[in-house]
Amino acid sequence: MKRLLIVIAVSLLSAASSRAQYIVYDPTSNIQNIMNQAVNVAKYVQMIQNQVQQITTLTSQLNELQHYNQIFGNPSQILDLAGFTGLITDLHDTGVGQAIGQLENLAQGVDALRYDASGLYHNVGETFTTRNGNSVSRDQNSYRQFAAVNETTKNFSDVYADVIARRQALKQDIASTTTQLRAATTASEVQKLTGLLVGQNAALAATDKELDQALALSQVQDAENRNDQAKQDQARIEEQRAEFSESIQKYNNTVKLTTEPAQFPEANQ
């Protein structure tokens, strides 16, 4: 740096001396100006060197970033992985199962009378014939509890068919995702595929829960029917006891037993 300043100063002095025959100047002031200019030039050179160093550093960082993207991948470019659409669709699917209240509202006694499970059971029918040949209509409302069980059974069958189809689709998606995961070349792709695989397995487990829920509805309705049957039996026993007590009381009021000793006619002596 000092050599550079000396060279610049000598050059400027030489140029000034060649014009000395024409211009009168103050040597001390002129030398100071030359030295100041030399310092400014040196500072400019240093600034240029710093900028070159910064550019070199930025270039190195850019190369490292590009190398990182080659190894780990750019997450923003991994947008259309197979399986995401199917997973989102399944998660938005509410299923075909119904609540127990809805199933009970659908239960109609006449349906229970006609139900035979495609020929598996005997059709009770809406009427029956007595031994005397009289046709009697059944009380349809009393058969609603049996229709409720039939509705929950049908609900379970519908849910089962729906779950089996969705399970098959999810299992195919899981197989496809696993294949993609084995062939993944970047860390970003591996991370997204792993998240997709977790979501698909969670959806598969959720479909099983739907099946369990539908089965539970059938069991709950059956338990409610059994409870109602026990309640009806208890009520019938209570009514029979009351009727029996009334019958005994009515008999006692109608038939008066004498408390007098029996009188027998005396035999002729």
**To the nearest whole number, what is the mean pLDDT of the chain?**
76
**For residues 126 and 140, is the Cβ–Cβ distance under 8 A?**
yes
Phi, psi of 128 (to 5 degrees): -145, 160
Q: pLDDT class for 20, splitting at 50, 70, 90?
A: very low
Q: Which residue did the predictor score with more confidence, 212 or 121?
A: 212
Q: What is the pLDDT of residues 215-233, one digit of tens each?
A: 888 888 888 888 777 777 7
Residue 14 pLDDT greater than 70, yes or no: no
Q: What is the pLDDT of residues 94-140, one digit of tens each?
A: 666 777 788 888 888 888 888 888 887 788 888 888 788 888 888 88
pLDDT at 29: 67
Report which DSSP code applies to 142.
G
**For residues 144 and 82, is the Cβ–Cβ distance under 8 A?**
no
pLDDT at 118: 82
Q: What is the pLDDT of residues 55-85, one digit of tens each?
A: 777 777 766 666 555 555 566 555 556 667 7
Listed in sequence order, the DSSP H helices in the chain are 2-18, 27-72, 84-92, 100-106, 109-114, 144-183, 187-254
Q: Which residue did the predictor score with more confidence, 72 or 41?
A: 41
Of 89, 103, 85, nearest to 158 by C-alpha is 103
C-alpha distances (whole Å) from 251 to each of 129, 155, 223, 237, 256 are 36, 54, 42, 21, 9
Q: Which two tokens stand for residue 41?
A: 């030039």
Q: What percent of the chain has pLDDT over 90?
A: 0
**Could you tell me if residue 71 is left (phi over 0), alpha (psi between -120 and 50 degrees) or otherwise beta?**
alpha
Element (H, E) at 129: strand 127-129
Q: Which of 167-181, 209-223, 244-258 has the lowest mean pLDDT?
A: 244-258
pLDDT at 74: 60
**For residues 169 and 86, is the Cβ–Cβ distance under 8 A?**
yes
For 126, the 3-state DSSP assignment is coil
Q: Which two tokens stand for residue 179?
A: 């294949």
